Structure 1
Amino acid sequence: MSSKDFSFHRKSPEELLAQIEKLKRGKLKIYIGSAPGVGKTYRMLTEAHELQQEGIDIVIGLAETHGRKETAALLNNLEMIPLKEIHYKENTYMDLDVEAIIARNPEVVVIDELAHSNVPGSETDKRYRDIERILQARINVITAVNVQHLESLHDVVHDITGVSVRERIPDSVIDAADEVILIDVTAETLQKRLRDGKIYQPERIEQSLENFFTTKNLSALREIALREVADDVDDKSDKKAAQLRAAMMNEKILVCIKNDANAEKLIRRGYRIADRLRSELYILMAIDKELEELPTHIQESYAEWRDLAQQFGAHFLLEPMKERKIPQVITDVANKKQITQIILGQSIKSRVEEIAKGSIVNAIMRQTDGVDIHIVANSRKN
């Protein structure tokens, strides 16, 4: 091979470092479903038996059977790591024992309920962080989660179902998985399982059928799950091409938020657009005072939005207004950062007010060139 050929195929230092780091970790496999009861735990335990028969050293770190007899039966003849006792407020809870799993050092461990929040006083606050520790110990992990627990889908799921999902995981957890498998069943099949008592206790069945487990909700969540897994497969199979397209397009997304209930929705929407385009994401908040001069509750909101932006890999910008109006702040940042797309919340101004005081969108369009503007509708009031 000539030196020219060698240089063409040689990996960059960054690629080599990333490859070395990946070799130091265990592999992560995630079963993802559209709703509780689709069969994620059943499939994980079935796979555990298959791997065991192949001579793979596999253990169960934690499996939530929820009283389902068929699922519980699959725990027979599988080695289970005893759960750890955690004491909190005079109560005792049983949870995943990360140290025991690492000490046992199996080839593979099954850990259910990826989005679970740990009991206060645990070493980490979330189970996905526990799994990260286990992966760092070079142990392969099989886990499961429902699509409504993805952080970027929080608002979408709320709009569809009316349910605000409390336990959420960063999208980066799914992105980092070596394999993501969809467990898919129809809405009708899932409703039958519910009526047969295979998902919840009898006293919860009717209420669930009338609320979360409606045909409309389940069909919409199923479509979201199908799309999410398809996008993940495309991303993993064509990641370099996507990065190359992003570099060529040089797309940069700017999300403009203000101190209201729509801020998080805008950040999530911006992330999903930026993630599809493989582009840089900026979150802009204009402030008329120094941060420390603002009321405590506003500072706390800013900290939450900064944390969310960090989770999405975005740049969080607090921009002093300095006697500028909002459109000028936005256009100054857009021009400085070479932004190509701006995301704004829907204006609450009436048509008369827009005529009298001017439209923010029109002002931005006059002062920028070649920038697309997206308007996101306000959240519906319940």
Structure 2
Amino acid sequence: MVEKRLTPEEALKQYKLQTTGKLKIFLGYAPGVGKTFSMLNEANRRFERGEDVVVGYFESHERKDTIEQLKDLPLMPLKEIPHGSIKLKEMDVDSIIERAPKLVIVDELAHTNAPGSKNKKRYEDVIEILNAGINVYSTVNLQHLESLNDIVQQITGITVNETIPDNILTNAEVVIIDIPPESLRNRLRRGNIYKPFLIESALKNFFRNGNLAALRELTLRQIADEVDEDLEEYKINHDINDNWYTCERIMVSISSNPKSKRLIRLGARIAKKYKCQLYVVYVECTHILSAKETPDRVKTLEDNIQLAKKFNAEVVELSGKSISHALLKFSQEKHITQLIIGHPHRSKFQRLFRGSTTNKFLEHAKDVQIIVVPYDAM
């Protein structure tokens, strides 16, 4: 067996992975869920096993339980930066790189550094530390992710000014720190998150049940998408084509038949139930025996497509001599788990020469549940 040679780009990527430190992010959906506590707890376990662990920056927010988690972890001195008549303290990146520990703890990844710091943002400090071959543990809430800035503002009414690029999260190992919203509100009421005079205001604003439930779901969905991408990459790298039921993906096959609207509505209900991706697919058949489109049929198809878009479906137009083959290929590429298809009556002549789209799909599809709805029953 001939060993496949790496391209220069692949070799460079592999080298960087071997020499760059690893980033682990403890992610939450709101302040107080326990990100820093969990990060320090894990760092202490590694420290107790004899690993070289230091704290580069730590923010206690005067939370007693969090402060106690520091235990015997060595603290790196902070760098003083003159700012007018006062001196601000920030993480000393150069000292950490010179010290070269195996793991450094860096709290609050989205923090903006004081003017005059080496880097403008703390995540830039972390990138520099990682490039020096040092592993980093850090914390962040999902509202600081750049791509979700507008959504978070819509949910909470609060503009988040400190953000991090999405690729920081994409390239890190992510640990979700999660507790139910009401448990978090109880933690707030007990004074474990903010000082007493801030509690009532926080409960009525950012810490409203609706806000927390929405942010929590957003966090879980975001990470599910990241995991899904990792799984897809793994399957491609290992040449795995089987459909693994990690999440539902619904595909509706439509045509210019006005009764396709029922199929779209059924698909939308199922996608809503599973909170999953909905694809509405139309195949432009190029077979010589296929029915030719008329202006009325084109108009009806466009109406069907517009209905699909109202349900936020991803509308896809395919082309091919065989509708079943086009649908089968697409379902394999997108790992479809359920197909909804109409079953119109074909003439004897069409059945003789072309067979049944549904039967052909059933014959060749693997791991796809098929819902066949006879058009005559609509």
TM-score computed with the length of structure 2 as normaliser: 0.61
1:350-369 superposed matches below 5 A: none
1:24 and 1:13 map into 2 onto residues whose CA distance is 16
Report the equivalent of 1:303: none
Unaligned runs of 5+ in 2: 240-276, 278-316, 319-378
Following TM superposition, by how much is the alpha carbon of 1:42 offset from its aligned partner in structure 2, in angstroms? 0.2
1:233 and 1:54 map into 2 onto residues whose CA distance is 30
Report the equivalent of 1:181: 175
1:213 aligns with 2:207: yes
Tell me which amino acid in the other structure corresponds to 2:154. Answer: D
1:230 and 1:154 map into 2 onto residues whose CA distance is 19
Following TM superposition, by how much is the alpha carbon of 1:100 offset from its aligned partner in structure 2, in angstroms? 1.2
The answer (yes or no) to whether the contact 1:110–1:142 under 8 Å persists in 2 is yes
Aligned with 2:74 (options 67, 76, 79): 79
Unaligned runs of 5+ in 1: 245-275, 277-368, 371-382
1:1-382 superposed matches below 5 A: 1=1, 3=2, 6-7=3-4, 10-177=5-172, 179-239=173-233
Tell me which amino acid in the other structure corresponds to 1:157. Answer: V
Tell me which amino acid in the other structure corresponds to 1:207. Answer: S
Go from structure 1 to structure 2 and tell me whether the alpha carbon gap of 1:241 and 1:12 turns closer, same or farther (over 3 Å shift): farther
Question: Identity of aligned pairs, percent?
Answer: 48
**Matched pairs, number:** 242
Report the equivalent of 2:321: none
Following TM superposition, by how much is the alpha carbon of 1:63 offset from its aligned partner in structure 2, in angstroms? 1.2
TM-score computed with the length of structure 1 as normaliser: 0.61
Secondary structure, in 3 states, of the residue corresponding to 2:55?
strand
2:51 and 2:224 map into 1 onto residues whose CA distance is 29
CA RMSD, aligned part only?
2.0
The answer (yes or no) to whether the contact 1:31–1:181 under 8 Å persists in 2 is yes
Tell me which amino acid in the other structure corresponds to 1:25. Answer: T
1:242 and 1:123 map into 2 onto residues whose CA distance is 41
Secondary structure, in 3 states, of the residue corresponding to 2:226?
helix
2:68 and 2:17 map into 1 onto residues whose CA distance is 35
1:21 and 1:201 map into 2 onto residues whose CA distance is 44
Secondary structure, in 3 states, of the residue corresponding to 1:238?
helix
The answer (yes or no) to whether the contact 1:235–1:242 under 8 Å persists in 2 is no
1:236 and 1:112 map into 2 onto residues whose CA distance is 26
Tell me which amino acid in the other structure corresponds to 1:182. Answer: I
Following TM superposition, by how much is the alpha carbon of 1:21 offset from its aligned partner in structure 2, in angstroms? 1.2
Go from structure 1 to structure 2 and tell me whether the alpha carbon gap of 1:242 and 1:159 turns closer, same or farther (over 3 Å shift): farther
Secondary structure, in 3 states, of the residue corresponding to 2:112?
coil
Q: Which structure's CA Rg is the greater one?
A: 2
2:27 and 2:156 map into 1 onto residues whose CA distance is 18
Residues 151-192 of structure 1: CA deviation (Å, up to 9, x unaligned): 000000000000000100000111121x11100011001101
Secondary structure, in 3 states, of the residue corresponding to 2:87?
strand
